[in-house]
Amino acid sequence: MTEISSSASVPSLADSSSLAARMLELIAGGQATSRTELAERLGTAASTISLTVQRLVAQGLVAEEGTHASTGGRPRKVLRLGGSDGYAVAADLGGSHARIGIVVSGGSLSDVSTVPFSMADGPETGLDRLATILGDLAERRGSGTLAGVGVSLPGPVDISSGSVLLPSRMPGWTGFPVRTWLEDRFGLPVAVDNDANLMALGEHSVRPAGARQSITVKAGTGIGVGIIADGHVYRGATGCAGDITHVRIDTAGDTPCSCGNTGCLETVASGAALVRIFRERGVPVTSTLDVIRLATDADPEATRTVRRAGHYLGEVLSANVNFFNPDAVYLGGILSTLEPFVAAVRSQLYEGCHPLATEHLLIERVRLGADAGLVGAGLLALQRAFMTALDSRSIPHPHPSPSLAASPSPSRVPRNHVHR
């Protein structure tokens, strides 16, 4: 985190670049639109913020225009990412289809469509086809500048290399360098992360900036959690933070899980588990969608089973809510479209958490619905694009000092800073 030494009248170049990176991240994510908001979010002196904004404007990385008139106070200039015609193409990959769309700075999404995509085709065939589709999407847009590409994957991702790690639902993809492959293809910055993290990032961008700690659950075929800690995606030491799907739960007994272990939450509360449970009862379902249809038709057995799944998820979540004490739990993924599921999670959280943890806890479905991951992928791509631009340009100082002018620092922003 950026600390400005009180003895220095201006921040050091390294501090300043780290601060600039944080500011770009907040502006790109729609979490701050003015100098005042940046100062509040970052807990940094207004004078330091203003100095850095001047530098970013001089760089063409940030534009300052118009005014905020809504609060009735003194009009404020609105900050946007520079070259505000820049946009990202984004894709949220599933097992048999992909949602694609265009995301602009601040998170607005357009041109959304669902296209066939087969994970089972393997990475090279699948990504080749996807890249063609995304290229066509950018071409159809016709205006603006394609700044980056964002991809959400339904499996764990090594964020430092952008490659896939031991995915249970992506056979043939283990170790594949998705980011490098796409960067070579597009010649642009590419951001790759797992679906739950990107869903959390997308949802965070449309929530009040005060909700800086949140847990976003993607309850679909598997169960993933994206954690926002202090306004950032928290990934943990080895990138598997939030992987609650393999938390062991007593009720699950020795049911085998996709991870090779037994008794995981996934075996009793995921879409895949519900399909298995119904099939064991002789109900001819083949996908999570079939289960959703049954429950939506108010089939009593289906409703009961879905409610039980929500109860188990709530049980595991309540331990995490007690531990992490978030402002909010956002429920996404296809199972969260079912009211009995959401109601069961909510009641279990209230039952299983300390009252202090639930006193102000917001428990809601994701506002962005099925688009949350897509928005997150686009935002992460834009962040990465602007960080890359920041990284590659020198930052002229309005009042150059000898010490700043003498600081050679070709790579001031750590690569992984982009992904925080």
- The binding site for Zn ion (CB under 5 A) comprises 246, 257, 259, 261, 264
Q: Which is nearer to Zn ion, 219 or 264 (CB)?
A: 264
Alpha helices (H) along 189-280:
195-205, 266-269, 271-280
Q: Which is nearer to Zn ion, 259 or 370 (CB)?
A: 259
Shortest distance in whole angstroms from residue 259 CB to Zn ion: 3
Shortest distance in whole angstroms from residue 246 CB to Zn ion: 4
Q: Which is nearer to Zn ion, 180 or 255 (CB)?
A: 255
Q: Which is nearer to Zn ion, 270 or 303 (CB)?
A: 270
Angle at which helices 271-280 and 300-324 cross, to 10°: 150
Which pair of structure tokens corresponds to residue 419?
Answer: 């992904």
Question: Which is nearest to 285 in space by CA: 266, 305, 312, 309?
Answer: 305
Handedness of CA 151, 329, 369, 309 (dihedral sign): positive
179: enclosing H helix or E strand: helix 178-186
Distance CA 165, CA 127 (A): 17
Shortest distance in whole angstroms from residue 133 CB to Zn ion: 33
Distance CA 377, CA 54 (A): 29
Shortest distance in whole angstroms from residue 68 CB to Zn ion: 48
End-to-end CA distance of the chain: 11
219: enclosing H helix or E strand: strand 214-219
Handedness of CA 163, 166, 169, 170 (dihedral sign): positive
Beta carbons of 185 and 197 less than 8 angstroms apart: no
Shortest distance in whole angstroms from residue 311 CB to Zn ion: 19
Distance CA 60, CA 52 (A): 12
Shortest distance in whole angstroms from residue 16 CB to Zn ion: 45
Q: Which is nearer to Zn ion, 257 or 316 (CB)?
A: 257
Q: Which is nearer to Zn ion, 247 or 295 (CB)?
A: 247
Q: Which is nearer to Zn ion, 168 or 388 (CB)?
A: 168
Centroid of chain to Cα 381: 11
Centroid of chain to Cα 241: 13
Q: Which is nearer to Zn ion, 257 or 368 (CB)?
A: 257
Shortest distance in whole angstroms from residue 48 CB to Zn ion: 47
Burial class (CB in 10 A: 0-12, 13-18, 19+), 168: middle
Question: Which is nearest to 234 in space by CA: 324, 105, 152, 366?
Answer: 324
Shortest distance in whole angstroms from residue 198 CB to Zn ion: 22
Q: Which is nearer to Zn ion, 248 or 293 (CB)?
A: 248
Shortest distance in whole angstroms from residue 151 CB to Zn ion: 25
